Amino acid sequence: MIGAILFDLDGTLVDTAPDMGAALNNLLIEESLAPIPLEIIRPYVSQGALVLTRLGFSEQVPESEIEPLRLRYLDHYRAIVADDSVLFDGLEEVLNTLEKRNIPWGIVTNKPKWLTTPLLEQMALDKRAAVVICGDTLDKRKPHPLPLIVAAETIGIACEDCVYIGDDPRDIAAGRAARMKTLIASYGYIDRDARLDEWQAGGIIAHPLDLLSHPFIN
């Protein structure tokens, strides 16, 4: 049986789109611009603050002004980091089942620690996770495999005995490079036109509860 499950954070473990989208719209309103519907923002959330900032402002401001706007966006997001973020439907049952089976689970995210820590603390996930590797924990981040390798070492499980689940091509690239089994969370922040077969993952789960019946952990 598999030794550990590692999750990407945004779009895989936690639905952070409501807060990340609200932060972008708060900034847009502050700049006297129209807010963007959440359904337009959602597919971009896993790609991070820079992509979201460009989504909101690329047509209105020159590229040289994007970085200051990105920093302001992050300040807006930190203020509401866990207001409306929730575990994806079914994941509480998944985590409870893993814990009952004594299968450790952890998080490997490109989100920086100053945003990840308060989010996990307010959701009471920080003490449940066996390991949390953030985007600035190491000098490498996904798609580099080092964060996943260090996560496995921290738990004390061989990479080959871990499953990494994510909703972005860099998640699968990192997992494959770390010699882990990989699963695409197709319920996450994925564009409807994405060619998931091109990601070369070990499998796809359309709903978090599908993990409990997947051959990788049974």
Instruction: Using the Cα atoms of residue 10, residue 14, residue 15 and residue 16 in order, give the sign of their dihedral.
Output: negative
Q: Cα–chain-centroid distance for residue 114?
A: 15
Assess contact for 196 and 204: CB atoms under 8 A: yes
> What DSSP line would sit under 44-79, residue for residue?
GGGG-HHHHHHHHHTTTS-GGGHHHHHHHHHHHHHH
The long-range contacts involving 25-33, CB below 8 angstroms and separated by at least 24 positions, are: 26/76, 26/80, 27/56, 27/69, 27/72, 27/73, 27/76, 28/56, 28/57, 30/72, 31/57, 31/60, 33/57, 33/60
Closest CA to 188 of 17, 6, 48: 17
Q: Which two tokens stand for residue 185?
A: 């969370």
**Residues labelled catalytic:** 8
Q: Return d(Cα 197, Cα 39) in angstroms, integer.
A: 24
3-state secondary structure of 214: coil
